[in-house]
A = this chain, B = another copy of it.
Amino acid sequence: MQYPDAIAKLIESYSKLPGIGRKTATRLAFYTLGMSEEDVSNFSESLKASKSDLTFCQVCGFITSKSDNPCVICSDPSRDQSKIFVVEDSQDEMAIESTHDYHGLYHVLNGVLSPMAGRGPEDINVSSLITRLSDHPEVKEVIIGLNASTEGEATTLYLGRLIKPAGIKVTRLALGLSMGTNVNYADQLTLTQAVNGRTEI
């Protein structure tokens, strides 16, 4: 015997999400049956809208609604136009925004260089960054905030070599101990970076 079509299809859809297996998908589907009409209809509509209403900002590559293109940050004149923060994806941009400590502009690569995955500079938003820098001489600093992984490192070095010759200051996020880390629990590489990057107090 099979579940009725409507629930079988819902289980199928849930199980396509990452990290959700058949059992969890079934649990979620039955939970959905018990949700309010309004919640389910909102869910259904927002799924549709995620495909029809969203696009990438034509300037910075951040995820934005089609009616806000360029995105809210790119079209906000109060942001510091002399700084561009380069991130891997929109979620990283939101993480930086959540610190409320940075007030410049962003550029979202939507990926990093990865020879293993066959992803080169033409597959990520690099050329748009270069065009943007040459069109906007008011940019004085490019801050690179990619993941501290092999691919992030490679992309950071690549961007540095590409941008520095234009006479623009290129900085990167500090490497060192995370807040709350014990020195004797930190890995060797992190400790080396923390020692090399030590700051005067």
B16 touches A65 (CB 8 A): no
Q: Which residues of B contact A28 (CB under 8 A)?
A: 17-18
Q: Which of B10, B18, B97 contacts A1 (CB 8 A)?
A: B97
Q: Does A195 interact with chain B (Cβ within 8 Å)?
A: no
Q: Does A47 interact with chain B (Cβ within 8 Å)?
A: yes
Further contacts, 19 of them, CB under 8 A, given A4-B64, A26-B91 = A1-B73, A3-B63, A3-B94, A4-B53, A6-B49, A6-B50, A6-B53, A7-B54, A9-B45, A10-B46, A12-B42, A16-B43, A18-B27, A18-B31, A30-B91, A32-B47, A32-B50, A40-B48, A44-B48
Give Cα A45 to B90, complex, Å: 27
Interface of A is mostly: helix
Give Cα A39 to B49, complex, Å: 14
Q: Does A29 interact with chain B (Cβ within 8 Å)?
A: yes
CB distance from A78 to the nearest CB of B (A): 12
How many residues of A are counted as interface, with CB atoms below 8 angstroms from the partner's CB atoms?
53
Residues A31 and B3 in contact in the complex (CB < 8 Å), given A40-B50, A43-B47, A44-B47 = no
A6 touches B54 (CB 8 A): yes
Q: Does A13 interact with chain B (Cβ within 8 Å)?
A: yes
Give Cα A12 to B50, complex, Å: 13
Q: Which residues of B contact A166 (CB under 8 A)?
A: none
Q: Which residues of B contact A42 (CB under 8 A)?
A: 9, 12-13
Q: Which of B37, B47, B71 contacts A51 (CB 8 A)?
A: B37
Q: Which residues of B contact A162 (CB under 8 A)?
A: none
Interface residues of A in 105-160 (CB under 8 A from B): none
Q: Which residues of B contact A4 (CB under 8 A)?
A: 53-54, 63-65, 68, 71
Q: Does A5 interact with chain B (Cβ within 8 Å)?
A: yes
A47 touches B50 (CB 8 A): no
Residues A50 and B63 in contact in the complex (CB < 8 Å), given A16-B35, A35-B16, A43-B13 = no
Q: Which residues of B contact A94 (CB under 8 A)?
A: 1, 3
